[in-house]
Amino acid sequence: MPKKPVTFMLNGAEQAAFADDGQNLLDLLRRGVGDLAPKYGCGQGGCGACTVLIDGVPHLSCLVLAETVDGRRIETASGLAGARLHPLQEAFMAHFAAQCGYCTPGMLMAAKALLDQNPRPSREEVVEAISGNLCRCTGYEPIIEAILSVANGGARA
Amino acid sequence: MSEGMIEFRKEFFADERDDTLKEIGRPTRRQDILGHVTGRSPFYDDHLFQGLLHMRCARSPHHAARIRRIDTAEAERSPGVVRVLTGRDVPLNLNTLLSLLDFGIDDEPLLSTDRVRYRGEPVAAVIAETEAQARAAAAKVRIEWDPLPHVLDVEEAIRPGAPAVLDVYPGNRFVYHGTYDHQKLRYGDVEAAFRAADHIVEGRYQMSPIEQAPIETCGAIAAPETNDRFVCYTSTQALFFSLATTAKVLQTPSSRLHFIGGTVGGGFGGKVDSVHEPLAVLGAMLTGRPVKFMWDREEEMQVGAPRGAERWYIKDGVMRDGRIVARKFTGYFDSGAYTRLTSYAVIKAVGHLPGPYTIPNVHADVSCVFTNRTPATAMRGFGITGVDFAIEAHMDKVAETVGMNPIDLRILNAYRDGDMKAHRRLAKNCALIECCQVVAEKAGVQLSNASRAASSRQGGGGDRALLPAYTALDQAGRVSGFEGGSYARKAARSRPAPQPVPPAPGPIGRRATTQPPPQSAPQRPRAAEPPPAAAATPPPPPPRQGPIRFSSLSGFRRR
Amino acid sequence: MALHRGRGFAAINYPIGMNLGGDPSQALVHSNPDGKFTVTLSSIDLGQGMKSVTRQIAAETLGIPVEDVYVDTADSDTGPHCMGSFASRGTHRVGNAVIQAAQEARAVMLEAAAEELEVDPGDLVTDGAGNIHVRGAPSRSITTMAACQAAQFRQGRTVSGRGIFLIPLSEVDPDTGEMTPVSCFAHAAMIVEVEVDDETGEVRVTDMKSAYEVGRALNPKLVEQQLRGGAWMGMSHAAWETTEPYYPDRAHGPVDFTSYLMPGPGDIAPHHISILERPAPDGPFGGKGPGEMCANPVLPAVVNAVYDAVGVRIDELPVTPEKVLRGLRAQGGARPRRRL
C-alpha cells in the first residue's frame, strides 16, 4: 500500500513522516513521529483525549486524516513548555487539576486554544471550551479553576 | 459561582489524633503531575516497538449459542495478517479470576471454542501488521452458530427450567461453601420482630449496570524480551494478579513474565479482569513479535465488564419511635455469563449489611446469579454501592412512614462504638453520627435535641454489645452435587448439615453457634463432566502446579 | 410547567480494604549513597495518588523531606508483591507496608549516624529537613546524606528496609454469615439539592453538601481530589449513566460517549465538603481510603431529592426524564414534599 509523505510543523520544528492509506493524525503523531502526548480515548471523536491544535484551532486528531496536515502547523502538549512551563501547566499542577493524567494533554490544548483567542474568558466560556474533553477523575472543577487562574493573570487559592 | 468550599472539622475526634506531623497532612504537589502536564507520564501504550502487531477479536453476536464451526482460513489470508488464534492455541483455556484465591470453579475460556454465553464473547484473535488490517480480518472469521435459548433477568434465571448459562452451575447461581446457592446472613429472628413491629416498610430497588469508563481503555502490549522472557506493559490495576493469571492460562512459569505498569489512565475497578495480558503475551509467544491488544471504546462499553446490575428487596420492621428492629434483605447480583469477581462481591455485600445501623434482627439471602450478558466485574464501591443505594432510599421511606426527619432517623439508628454488628463483630471507630450532624448544620436542617447531643462514642455497647439470644437458622437453598473441600484438593469429605439449635447467649464477641467450622469451596458437580474442551483435542490439563496462589478464600479455611 | 426544588439525604459507611483480608502488600525502601530514598512498590497509581501518598508516608516515617523520596512503581522484576489497587486498600495496606520498610531503613540510618557522632542511636532525632541530631542538642548533628554515605562506604551497612502488611484471612460462616469483613470503615453523609422540570422530566443537581470521615487526610488536596471527583461520578451514576438503558433488555446499549452520558463541566454542582478525621487504629497515621465511598451517598441522595421535589419515587437507577415523567403522570402531576 503506497504511503504518502507528509511534512508539517510540530511544536515549532519541521517533521516529515509517511502516512498509511487512511491513517489518522493521532496514530501518525504517536507511532509515526513518536509524540506520545495526544492519547487514544475512543477513536470516535467523543472524548477529546486526542486534541491537538492545527493552525491554532483545536482538532480531534483521531478524526483527522494524517495526509491532510501537509504544510500545517501542529501543536501538542509536548510542545507547551519551552525553557519554562506554560502558565497552564503551572496552574494545572498548583490546582491539582489532574489525577490519572490521561485527559490532561488534550485538556491543556483546548485550554490553550481558548486563551490564545480569548485571554480573559468568563467561566461559561471556559466551560464551553473544554466541553469536548472528558475527564473521569476530577469532576472538572479543579480544571476550570486552573484555567480561570491563568485567565485572571495569576494563581487563585 | 460554581465553586465548592472545603473545610476541615478538626475539632471532631481531636483527642484521638496527633496533628503535629511534618509531611503527613500537607497538600504536597503530586509526584506524577509534572509528567501529566507535559504528556510524559508513561501509560502502557506510551512505549514504542519495532514491528508492533495489533490484535482484534472476532466476537459472538448472540446472547447464547453453540459453535458448530470456526473457519479462520479467509481471515488468515487477509492482507497483513500474521496469525489467527483460537481456543486451541491457549494452553489452559479455562479459568476463573479468583482461582488465584482458591475461590470458585474455572468456568471461562480465554477464547471460546464450543459455546458462547454473552454477546461480545471472543472466539478468535486476529494478529496483523496494522489495527485496520486486524479489524478487517476479524470480520472475515467465519463462525457457524446454533443460537441457544438465553436468559437476561436474574429472577427468571433462577427459576426451574431457565436456560442454564453455565454447565458448572446448573441452577444459574454460584454455590457457596459447597452447600448453598446463596450467602446467608442470620442474626436474631426477623419474623418474630416483624410481628412485634408497629410498621412494616418494603421496597424493591434496581441498579442497572454502568461502565467504569476510564478515558484510557483496557489494553496490554507484550513483547519477547531477552533470555526467553516476555515483557508486558499493561493497564492493569493489579500487576501480580494479571501476571499470575497469565502464567496459569499460558502454563508458563511466572519467572518468565516481566510485567510493567503502575501508571494507569483511570481504572475504577474495570482493569482487574486480566484478559488482555494473557492474549497479548500468547500473541508475542506465537509470533515472536510485539503484540498490542486493546479494547476500542465500543468494546470497552459493551464487551468490557461493567459494574454488575443489582436487585434488592428490603423489608423493615419499625417501631413508631423510629427504631428499626428488623431488616430483611434479598439481593441478586447479576454476574453475567461468568463468575469473575461477582461471587466475592456477594460476600462483601453480606458483610456490609444492614448498613451503618444497629438493628437487632437481620436476615439476608444474597445470590450471585448468572445471565447471558457481559460478565460483570468490580467498580468503585464494589459490592456496596448498589445495596447502599437501596438502604438509603429505603431509610427515607421509613422516615416518611414514622413521620420523622430523615436525618434524625439515621442518627437514632446509627451504630456506635461497642455495638454488636450483624456479622458478629463489635463496632469501633464509628463516625456516622458526626457526619450526619455536620451535614444537617451546613444545610440548616433542624435536628432533635437527642440528635444534636448524640455521639458515636456514647450510648453504644452494654446491652447493644450482646449477640442475640436466639438466631433463626434454616437450610433453604441447599444444593447437592457440590462437594465440600478445597478447590485444590479434590478429595475432601462433604460437610454435614448443621443442626439449627438455638444457641445459648455467648460472651461478647464470640460466636454463639455450635456449628462445625465451615469447609471449602464448591467442587464441580460429580455427575456432570466438564464440557469437552475444543474441536481439536487439547493436551489434558496438567496436574495443578505452579500458579501462584495468593491466599485461600475457598473454604474460608480456619486460621 | 414548573421547576421544583427538593433535597435528599443519605448516610453511609464503607469498608476499607479487601473484604475478609488476606490481601498483602509489600514495600522496599532503600537509600542511594547520597541519602536520597527510593520506595519500590508494585502498586498501581490509577490517578488516586498512590505514588504521592506513599511518598509522604515514607518521608514522614524516615524523618526526611519529601523531596528526598521517590516512589518507583510498578515493575514485577524489581517491585515486591502487591495485591493491587482496588477495594480502597491502597493507602491502608500499602501505606502500612511502607511504614514498616521505612522504619527499618530509618533505624539503620540512625545507627550509622550514631556511629559517626559516637552517641547512642536512641539519643538521635531527625529534623525533617535533612539533618540528624542529638535530642536537645541540635549542634551535634550530621546530615542524612553524610550518614548514608558513611553507612555505605565506611561502615558497610545497607540503609534499607522491607515491609509487608497483611490482615489475616477471615472465615465466613455459611449459615450465619459471621465474618470479619475489614478492620475499619470510612463514613459519609450528604444532602443533595435538585431541580426537577415537571414538563421535561429533567433533573438538575444544583448543590451538594457533604461530610466525609476519612481517618486522616494524609494529603488534604489528594483527599479533596477524590471527594470532588467521586461525588461527580456518584451524580453521574445516579442520573446519567447506564450500559443497559432498558435493563434487563440489552437493546440500545451505548457504544460511544454520545450515547453513554456523563455530566459535563457545565452540569456540575457546587459541592461543599467537610472533612472529619477519626484515625483508624491500624491505618497508616490513621488513614482510611476515601477513593470509593465518595460516590456512594450521592445515588440515594439524588433519588430522595427527586421525591422531595415532586413526590415521585424512583427506585431504579439511573434517574431519567422518562422515569420522572411517567411517575408524574401516574400521580397526576408534581406533589412536592419539601421535607428537608
CATH of the domain at B377: 3.30.365.10
To test the contact with chain B by mutation, choose from A18, A33, A40 the residue with the greatest count of B C-beta atoms within 10 A, namely: A40
Distances in Å between the alpha carbon of C115 and those of C132, C155, C160? 12, 9, 17
State the fold for domain A87-151.
DNA polymerase; domain 1 (1.10.150)
Q: Say if residue B431 is in the same domain as residue B351.
A: yes
Residue B522 lies in a domain: no
Q: H helices of chain C, where?
A: 50-62, 95-117, 144-150, 220-239, 298-310, 321-331
**pLDDT above 70 covers what percent of chain C?**
100
Q: Give the per-residue pLDDT at B481.
A: 85
Q: Of A141-150, B523-532, C43-52, give the lowest mean pLDDT range.
A: B523-532
Q: Give the per-residue pLDDT at A23.
A: 96
Residue B138 lies in a domain: yes
| Across B75-92, average pLDDT | 98
Q: Say if residue B216 is in the same domain as residue B243.
A: yes
Residue B1 lies in a domain: no
Give the mean pLDDT of chain A.
95
Distances in Å between the alpha carbon of B289 and those of B51, B56, B88, B286, B297? 7, 16, 20, 8, 25
Domain count, chain B: 2
Contacts of C49 in chain A (CB under 8 A): 99
Q: Give the per-residue pLDDT at B226.
A: 86
**pLDDT above 90 covers what percent of chain B?**
84
CB pairs under 8 A between A and B: 110
- pLDDT band at residue B553 using 50, 70 and 90 as cut-offs: low
Residue B18 lies in a domain: no
Q: Do C222 and A127 touch (CB under 8 A)?
A: no
Among B39, B132, B296, the residue with its CB nearest the CB of A77 is B39
Which of B408, B442, B465 terminates a domain? The answer is B465
Angstroms from C154 CA to nearest CA on chain B: 31
Residue C81 has pLDDT above 60, yes or no: yes
Angstroms from C172 CA to nearest CA on chain A: 35
Which of B465, B482, B505 terminates a domain? The answer is B465
Q: Say if residue B310 is in the same domain as residue B298.
A: no
Q: Give the per-residue pLDDT at B482.
A: 86
Determine the number of helices (DSSP H) and then strands (DSSP E) in chain A: 5, 5
Contacts of A136 in chain C (CB under 8 A): 229, 233, 262
Q: Say if residue B395 is in the same domain as residue B427.
A: yes
ipTM above 0.85, yes or no: yes
Angstroms from C176 CA to nearest CA on chain A: 39
Residue B546 lies in a domain: no
Contacts of B23 in chain C (CB under 8 A): 56-57, 59-60, 65-66, 128
Each domain of chain A, given as residue ranges in start order, spans 3-79, 87-151
Helix axes A87-94, A141-151, angle to 10 degrees: 140
| Across B61-67, average pLDDT | 98
Closest chain C residue to B364 measured between Cα atoms?
Answer: C177
Residue B491 has pLDDT above 80, yes or no: no
Q: What is the DSSP string of B475-511?
A: -TTB-SS---S-SS-TTPPPPPPPP-PPPPPPSTTS-
Rounded CA separation B65/B255 (Å): 38
- Contact of B271 with B211, CB cutoff 8 Å: no
CB pairs under 8 A between B and C: 464
Residue B38 lies in a domain: no
Q: Give the per-residue pLDDT at B552.
A: 52
Rounded CA separation C334/B367 (Å): 37
Instruction: Assess B52–A contact: CB distance below 8 Å, yes or no.
Output: yes
- pLDDT band at residue B501 using 50, 70 and 90 as cut-offs: very low
Q: H helices of B140-219, where?
A: 154-157, 190-196
Give the mean pLDDT of chain C.
96
| Residues 133-192 in B contacting C (C-alpha not used; CB under 8 Å) | 152-154, 176-177, 179-180, 183-187
State the fold for domain A3-79.
Ubiquitin-like (UB roll) (3.10.20)
Q: Say if residue B162 is in the same domain as residue B134.
A: no
CATH of the domain at B113: 3.90.1170.50
Closest chain A residue to C47 measured between Cα atoms?
Answer: A100
Q: Where are the beta strands (DSSP E) in chain A?
A: 4-10, 13-19, 51-54, 57-60, 73-75
| Residues 178-207 in C contacting B (C-alpha not used; CB under 8 Å) | 178-182, 184-185, 187-191
Residue B64 lies in a domain: yes
Contacts of A99 in chain C (CB under 8 A): 47-49, 225, 229
Q: Say if residue B135 is in the same domain as residue B217.
A: yes
Q: Name beta bridge partners: C196.
A: C4, C203
- Between residues B482 and C279, which one has the greater pLDDT? C279
Q: Give the per-residue pLDDT at A154.
A: 52
| Across A68-77, average pLDDT | 98
Instruction: Assess A142–C contact: CB distance below 8 Å, yes or no.
Output: yes
Q: Do B263 and C45 touch (CB under 8 A)?
A: yes
Residue B288 lies in a domain: yes
Q: Which domain holds residue B227?
A: 46-148+212-302
Q: Say if residue B172 is in the same domain as residue B98.
A: no
Rounded CA separation B482/B476 (Å): 16
